[in-house]
Copies of this chain bind each other. A is one copy, B any other.
């Protein structure tokens, strides 16, 4: 069951002029969260902004004994609430409801885990990588951003033993271009008897391309979708994603409770 806490801001680390990592004191949510789940955040108490906003659980924070103390969010400033989260100061309080949604399902060796992240779509993968590496699963992170300065936490992933494949749109780091290109090449070169699970999160165009690429290569693919969410609990039906129906048509499912992680080959990309 999700819980709602008034979480103290423990720290706010600015990564760039648009990105920051906000650490929230929320031990119970931290203890309950699985990789791929999200929280609904409300950074103020007025009616403007009104609704909460969904954020992936980026890291589970722990004290020196390993006990969960809180979570962090990787935030990209795009509008009102993400702006408030960008400027939040330690000591402020933020309403935090979670953990919510269906997490990623993890794979064990010999299966490999390939994570595909675009921009702020990196958010669910820090926790996922930790969980995967913890069970010895070989993990690769395909990570694309606009520019080198927006490729974050590379050391953290390296320290976990994750292989990094990077792209930037301006060519300032890694391969020049979009992240689906190296993913595609690697899928083509991977022996088909070596099991691979593809995980993806990022802009919708990238998700669609990843799902199609994975499908073409016969690889299962778990997509974390990002829809506008009114409630995060299945109450409002705002967050729907079209899923293929048996009759060749589609039906809408609520990505907050049936997702945010959905099977790439079942989503109706159009």
Contact = CB atoms under 8 A, between A and B. Distances in A.
A113 B44 CA distance: 46
Interface of A: 44, 46-49, 80, 89
Nearest to A44: B46
8 contacts: A44-B46, A46-B46, A46-B48, A46-B49, A46-B80, A47-B48, A48-B48, A89-B89
This chain's copy number in the assembly: 2
Dominant SS among interface residues on chain A: loop
Contacts of A49: 46
A46 B49 CA distance: 7
Given A46-B48, A46-B80, A89-B89, 5 more contacts: A44-B46, A46-B46, A46-B49, A47-B48, A48-B48
A49 B47 CA distance: 8
A79 to B, nearest CB: 12
Contacts of A89: 89
Nearest to A84: B46
A48 B48 CA distance: 6
A80 B80 CA distance: 20
A48 B47 CA distance: 6
A12 to B, nearest CB: 14
A42 to B, nearest CB: 13
A13 B49 CA distance: 29
Residue among A48, A49, A80 having the largest count of chain B Cβ atoms under 10 Å = A48
A259 to B, nearest CB: 30
A48 B45 CA distance: 10
A200 to B, nearest CB: 35
A80 to B, nearest CB: 8
A255 to B, nearest CB: 28
A47 B50 CA distance: 11
Contacts of A47: 48
